[in-house]
Amino acid sequence: MSEAVAQTVASRFSELYGAEPHGVWAAPGRVNLIGEHTDYNDGFVMPFALPHTAVAAVARRDDGILRLHSADVESGVTELRLDALSPESDKTWTAYPAGVVWALREAGHAITGADIHLSSTVPSGAGLSSSAALEVVVALALNDLFSLGLRGWQLARLCQRAENVYVGAPVGIMDQTASACCETGHALFLDTRDLSQKQIPFDLAAEGMRLLVVDTQVKHSHSEGEYGKRRAGCEKGAALLGVDALRDIPYADLDAALARLGDEEEVRRLVRHIVTENARVERVVSLLESGETRAIGPVLIEGHASLRDDFRISCPELDLVVDTALASGALGARMTGGGFGGSAIVLAEEQDVDAITKTVTEAFASAGFTTPRVFEAVPSPGARRLH
């Protein structure tokens, strides 16, 4: 399967650039099981990799030129000079791969040029991290072709810097680390403060369960501004409480922290979400480690309520997925990703999957919403060389 994909992407590379690529790499999108908006609070997250990947065929060049092409965008080959790359100069898709090259060079790595052809099956803008997949696949290819010897977490940091500074999007570190470091059959328990990580076995099929991703296919236009407000609110909370990040408030101290915030109602809600969400990640880890997989369902449901009522980043489409799935027998469900659209996840017994899918789809039709895309998410490999 991945051999066939690698062949297709390599042949297209040859048509475009008139020579064989030096290799083909893949990096996945991700879905986050639990730990939402904690990554910019130095907290815990727990993503796993999707089978959907960005694939890159790449050849190195030594003349200071970067050429970029995507099979998924209606434009030809973009040619850039490495010494002209500059942050926030590009508002198109090429900013993601060019930003990675810029970040590597900024960090002192001697990248001398490349021809890159990309093709991705990660749905774009669905909260499944198509942008991180694109960045990480380029970073991994250049790491190999220029023998940089960087580890997955180091590539993730550079990709985050590319997205923060070059693209100009204030994202946390979860997506890039997930794409770079996840492993088949596992969820990644990641401490975003120091990037220490633990692979947690997560094989639902072996226990007769499934995890569905429901892509609502909507993205509400105010999502970026709201993300910035939540980040700013969390920073304000940390400052008022005298800590570096909200991660530093232990769950046991939550009530005392909330009392100290007095009438800062908005900040209190944000703080409560982050502190309880970090505790939920730890609960899910310990339940999975003790084999109590079904018991994570209620934790996911609580996580959704916290995002809806305290963090206030859900929307009618996401709430409808969660409410309908739970009403038709799901073990747990919650929105995942940034919010205001994108995707929700549903944990269900295998035999309930068809009924849940049907009920959710019908509920969307009755509400007049766009038909959602439902697929099963199996924990898949992280970034790797295919060819």
Q: Which residues are catalytic?
A: 175
Q: Closer to Mg ion by CB, 32 or 357: give it.
A: 32
Those residues with Cβ within 8 angstroms of residue 124's Cβ, 6 or more apart along the chain or in another chain: 72, 130
User: Residue 237 binds what, of ligand ADP, Mg ion, none (CB under 5 to 8 Å, by partner type)?
Assistant: none
Residue ranges binding Mg ion (CB under 5 A): 131
- If one asks whether residue 124 binds ligand ADP (CB under 6 A), the answer comes out as yes
Binding string, 56-95, against ligand ADP, x = CB under 6 A? --------------x-xx-------------------x--
128 is known to lie in a ligand binding site: yes
39 is known to lie in a ligand binding site: yes
Q: Closer to ligand ADP by CB, 268 or 334: give it.
A: 334
- If one asks whether residue 134 binds ligand ADP (CB under 6 A), the answer comes out as yes
- If one asks whether residue 322 binds ligand ADP (CB under 6 A), the answer comes out as no
- If one asks whether residue 131 binds ligand ADP (CB under 6 A), the answer comes out as yes
Is the separation of the CB atoms in 159 and 30 below 8 Å?
no
- Two tokens at 386? 């295919």
- Two tokens at 231? 């980040």
Distance CA 351, CA 90 (A): 48
The dihedral through the CA atoms of 373, 382, 200, 304 has a sign that is negative
User: Residue 53 binds what, of Mg ion, ligand ADP, none (CB under 5 to 8 Å, by partner type)?
Assistant: none
- If one asks whether residue 5 binds ligand ADP (CB under 6 A), the answer comes out as no
- If one asks whether residue 120 binds ligand ADP (CB under 6 A), the answer comes out as yes
DSSP secondary structure code for residue 380 in this structure: B
Tell me, by CB under 6 A, how many residues bind ligand ADP.
Answer: 16
Q: Among 113, 125, 168, 329, indicate the residue that binds ligand ADP (CB under 6 A).
A: 125
Query: Residue 201 forms beta bridges with which residues?
Result: 186
Q: How far is the CB of 82 from ligand ADP (least distance, A)?
A: 20
Distance CA 377, CA 123 (A): 13
Backbone angle region of 113, left / alpha / beta, with phi > 0 → left and psi within -120 to 50 → alpha: left
Distance CA 290, CA 264 (A): 39
Class of residue 86 by CB neighbours under 10 A (exposed 0-12, middle 13-18, buried 19+): exposed
- If one asks whether residue 127 binds ligand ADP (CB under 6 A), the answer comes out as yes
Those residues with Cβ within 8 angstroms of residue 65's Cβ, 6 or more apart along the chain or in another chain: 79, 80, 81, 82, 113
H helical segments located in the chain: 2-17, 95-106, 130-145, 152-161, 174-181, 223-241, 254-260, 265-289, 296-305, 316-327, 353-367
The dihedral through the CA atoms of 281, 283, 285, 291 has a sign that is negative
User: Residue 70 binds what, of ligand ADP, Mg ion, none (CB under 5 to 8 Å, by partner type)?
Assistant: ligand ADP
Q: Closer to ligand ADP by CB, 80 or 356: give it.
A: 80
Q: Among 32, 41, 129, 177, indicate the residue that binds ligand ADP (CB under 6 A).
A: 129
Is the separation of the CB atoms in 29 and 129 below 8 Å?
yes
Q: Closer to ligand ADP by CB, 46 or 171: give it.
A: 171
126 is known to lie in a ligand binding site: yes
Q: How far is the CB of 59 from Mg ion (least distance, A)?
A: 26
Q: How far is the CB of 171 from ligand ADP (least distance, A)?
A: 7
Q: How far is the CB of 266 from ligand ADP (least distance, A)?
A: 26
Q: How far is the CB of 126 from Mg ion (least distance, A)?
A: 10
- If one asks whether residue 336 binds ligand ADP (CB under 6 A), the answer comes out as no
Closest CA to 109 of 157, 75, 76, 77: 157
User: Residue 96 binds what, of ligand ADP, Mg ion, none (CB under 5 to 8 Å, by partner type)?
Assistant: ligand ADP
Binding-site residue numbers for ATP are 70, 125-131
Which residues in this chain contact ligand ADP in the complex, by CB under 6 A?
A: 70, 72-73, 93, 96, 118, 120, 124-131, 134
Residues flagged as binding site for Mg(2+): 131, 163
Q: Which residues are annotated as a binding site for substrate?
A: 36-39, 227
